[in-house]
Amino acid sequence: MLSAGDCFTGTFPPGSSKLRRFIVLTDEVGGECTVAWTYASTLMSDMSCVLTPVDHPMFTKTCVVVYEEAIIADANTIRTAVANGALKPESRLNPRVLKRAFDALFASDLTPEGVLDYCADR
């Protein structure tokens, strides 16, 4: 069962060649959960949620949560990626940082409507 605050590093979604760090923003319900990527860049356009190495050890640089690419993910796909070694589980986000990331999902002008609707019920 995936839970809000779970973190992973790896190449995801399947077929992607980019190493990504992502966080699960909602608990798994009915085999689905909300997932958002983080991205380290000097060209950060959406500053709704900035994360640093102080927030979690997997962030080696300051980065932002990329809400415009947030998705409703199939939990089995994530579990399969972990089992196949494509994703590496990281330690969980602490509740304070998770709340900040979840709240910023609603503050971002870039979060897809479907993700907002899904998360509003969580």
* pTM as predicted: 0.90
Domain-wise residue ranges, the chain: 7-112
Would you list the DSSP string of 33-102?
EEEEEEE--S-----SSEE-TTT-TT-SS-EEEEEEEEEEEEHHHHHHHHHTTSEEEEPPPPHHHHHHHH
Class of domain 7-112: mainly beta
pLDDT tops 70 at residue 13? no
pLDDT tens across 70-112, in order? 999 999 999 998 999 889 999 999 999 999 999 999 999 999 9
